[in-house]
Amino acid sequence: MANYNVSITNGTGSQMMTPGNYTVSATYAPGYDITSLSPTTYTATSPTGTGTFTLTASGTLTIIFNETGAEGGTPITSGNVVMTDQTGDIEYGSAVNIDSTGTAVFNNVPYGSTEAPYTLYFKQLASDTEHNIYPDVFIVGMGSATQTEYILNTHIPTTQSITLGDGTYSGLPVSSAVLDFVENNG
C-alpha cells in the first residue's frame, strides 16, 4: 500500500495516487487543530478524483469597536462585523454581533506566529445610531492563539439648528453674526 503526502497551498493541492481506499490525517496546519480533520478516509478513483476536507482553526480574535481605536475608548453599543476577502466582497461565515461593550468575538480563527502572522480581513456592516461604521476593510495579522484588536468608530455629529434673535425687539432675527461654540470637557 502506498503512502502520499499532499501539500496544500491556498486551500488546494493535487497528487498522483494509485486507486484505492486511504486513511487520511493532517500532519501540519499552523493555527488549526489537526485532529479536527474531516473526513478521515478517502477513496482514490481512476482516472481522476476529487476530495473535500475541512479543518477547524483554534484561535480566538476579540475585536473592540470604540471612539479611539485603542484601549479605553468609549465603546459603540451595537452593530456587526464579518470576515471577508481583502476586497470585502466575499464574506466568510456569518456576521458576528457587536455587544453593548463594543466587543465582537470570532472563535475558531486561524493564526500564525509573531514572525509570520495569518492575515485576516474584516468589514464592519453596522454600528449603533451614534457612531459611523469603519469605512474600509481592515486587516488583522493574527500572530497568536488569542488576540485583541481595537477599531475606531467615530461619533456621528448631530445637526444643531441655532436661532439668534434681537434681545430688544422680540422676533427680529439677527441678519448676520458668528457664534463660537467651545466644548467644555469637564
User: In the chain, what are the domains?
Assistant: 1-57 (no CATH), 59-152 (2.60.40.10)
Q: Helices (H) and strands (E) in the chain — how many of each? A: 0, 11
Q: Which residues contact 98 (CB under 8 A, 6 or more apart)?
A: 65, 76, 78, 79, 80, 81, 104, 127
pLDDT in tens, 112-169: 999 999 999 999 999 999 999 999 999 999 999 999 999 999 988 877 888 898 899 8
- Model confidence over 4-58: pLDDT tens digits? 999 999 899 999 999 999 999 999 998 999 999 999 999 998 788 899 999 999 9
Please give the C-alpha separations between residue 176 and each of 91, 160, 163, 165, 179, in angstroms, as whole numbers: 52, 18, 11, 10, 10
pTM flag (> 0.85)? no
For residue 135, say if its preceding peptide bond is cis, omega within 30 degrees of 0.
no
How far apart, in whole angstroms, are the C-alpha atoms of residue 152 and residue 146? 20
Name residue, grid cell 477547524: 56
pLDDT above 70 for 186: no
